[in-house]
């Protein structure tokens, strides 16, 4: 089978969920005959964690220097890259790259597959790109998204339904194995405390405030301690709410971390308190690490886990239900064993990186064949 040349465009500075999946795909897809070249933007420093990780894994990566959020030279640079590398498929991730690909008319150089990871509303710039996505995505041959609700959202924006594919995120089944008690000591969390972990960007849709109220409602006898891993624009609001709820001694904010893996090694419960989600990597990480999960019933979460079988699901914004679910997991080891056992089975059966690579390569080959 002929090699397929893939050009993948992503704005990334750290190893976020989408970045992790892209790097894993690029590494594994070599065996399936896919040669991936990554493209990312830099502003200021010429390198970052995403770029260095790609290079360490032997994945070719091109960088485009941009002077600001709306640098028109990026469009020309993308065109020149596509002309030089002559890819069989061009892939973009998230609304900014979709817009730039449409502006550069990259779809005239090779079939374009756009990855939709959901929308955030953290800035005026992000909201503008979100609105422009309605225009951008109509030129893509395929749009890959991560959940049924996201597919319906895209169809409502005018993307033809037959062009939308659902591909859930993936994780290695052995991810998160290991206990990191030294980390607990470094964070100043006593051995008697029950650790509740939330991993993700500190943005409004993750709804950390509801989780804080849920932790405040827990019985003091459980000795709960919440660890928040991530950084983002909501940090000041989260810190203010911690103070107002008198939770300063029961919450640790770690900031952005290169990897959340060690934190699962000290967690008794993982929580996704989000009001909007696609196919969350934080859920897959907890499942692979064997940490029981409380999650909101939003987005693709009910497609990935079932209530009382592989996780406990609650309605978004319901702090009382979240409190009760966390308390159940802290008090019932048999329930924890049942949920985590089934979660690990689901990771092996449905969410391995190899299965995701096969699904995506099938999509790319079909698009390529229709374009020949």
Residue 335 exposure: Cα atoms within 13 Å on the Cβ side? 17
- Residues 161 and 189: beta-carbon distance below 8 Å: no
Question: Does residue 266 have a pLDDT over 80?
Answer: yes
Per residue in 328-352, pLDDT tens?
Answer: 999 999 999 999 999 999 999 899 9
Mean pLDDT of the chain: 93
What are the tens digits of pLDDT across the range 181-190? 789 999 999 9
pLDDT bracket for residue 121 (50, 70, 90) = low
Tell me the pTM: 0.82
Alpha carbon distance 205, 296 (integer Å): 12
pLDDT at 372 over 60: no
Write out pLDDT tens, residues 201-221: 999 999 999 999 999 999 999
CB 12, CB 19: distance < 8 Å: yes
Q: In what order do the strands lie in the sheet with 34-42?
A: 61-65, 34-42, 4-9, 89-93, 112-115, 142-145, 164-166
Q: pLDDT digits over 88-97, tens only?
A: 999 999 888 9
Domains and CATH numbers, the chain: 4-170+352-371 (3.40.50.2000), 181-350 (3.40.50.2000)
Q: What is the mean pLDDT of residues 242-262?
A: 95
Q: What is the pLDDT of residue 157?
A: 86
**Which of 322, 326, 306 lies closest to 314 in space, CA to CA?**
322
């Amino acid at each position: 089978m002929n090699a397929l040349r893939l050009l993948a465009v992503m704005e990334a500075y750290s190893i976020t969920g989408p970045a992790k999946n892209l790097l894993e795909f690029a590494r594994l897809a070599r065996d399936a005959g896919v040669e991936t070249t990554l493209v990312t933007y830099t502003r200021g420093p010429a390198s970052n964690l995403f770029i260095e990780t790609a290079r360490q894994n032997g994945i070719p990566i091109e960088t485009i220097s941009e002077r600001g959020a709306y640098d028109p030279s990026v469009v020309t640079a993308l065109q020149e890259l596509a002309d030089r590398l002559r890819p069989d498929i061009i892939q973009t991730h998230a609304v900014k790259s979709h817009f730039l690909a449409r502006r550069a008319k990259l779809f005239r150089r090779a079939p374009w597959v756009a990855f939709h990871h959901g929308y955030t509303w953290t800035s005026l710039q992000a909201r503008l790109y979100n609105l422009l996505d309605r225009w951008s995505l109509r030129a893509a041959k395929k749009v890959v998204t991560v959940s049924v609700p996201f597919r319906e959202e895209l169809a409502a924006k005018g993307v033809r339904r037959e062009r939308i594919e659902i591909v859930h995120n993936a994780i290695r089944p052995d991810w998160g194995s290991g206990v990191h008690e030294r980390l607990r000591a470094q964070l100043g969390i006593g051995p008697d405390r029950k650790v509740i972990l939330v991993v993700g960007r500190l943005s409004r849709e993750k709804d950390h405030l509801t989780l804080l109220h849920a932790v405040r409602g827990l019985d003091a006898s459980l000795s709960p301690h919440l660890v928040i891993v991530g950084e983002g624009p909501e940090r000041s609001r989260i810190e203010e709410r911690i103070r107002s709820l008198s939770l300063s001694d029961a919450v640790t904010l770690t900031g952005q971390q290169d990897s959340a893996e060690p934190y699962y090694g000290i967690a008794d419960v993982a929580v996704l308190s989000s009001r909007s989600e696609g196919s969350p990597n934080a859920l897959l990480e907890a499942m692979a690490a064997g940490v029981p999960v409380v999650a909101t019933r939003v987005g693709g979460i009910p497609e990935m886990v079932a209530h009382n079988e592989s996780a406990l699901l609650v309605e978004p914004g319901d702090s009382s239900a979240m409190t009760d679910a966390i308390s159940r997991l802290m008090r019932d080891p048999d329930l924890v064993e049942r949920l985590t056992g089934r979660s690990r089975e689901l990771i092996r059966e449905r969410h391995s990186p190899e299965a995701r690579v096969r699904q995506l390569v099938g999509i790319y080959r079909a698009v390529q064949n229709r374009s020949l």
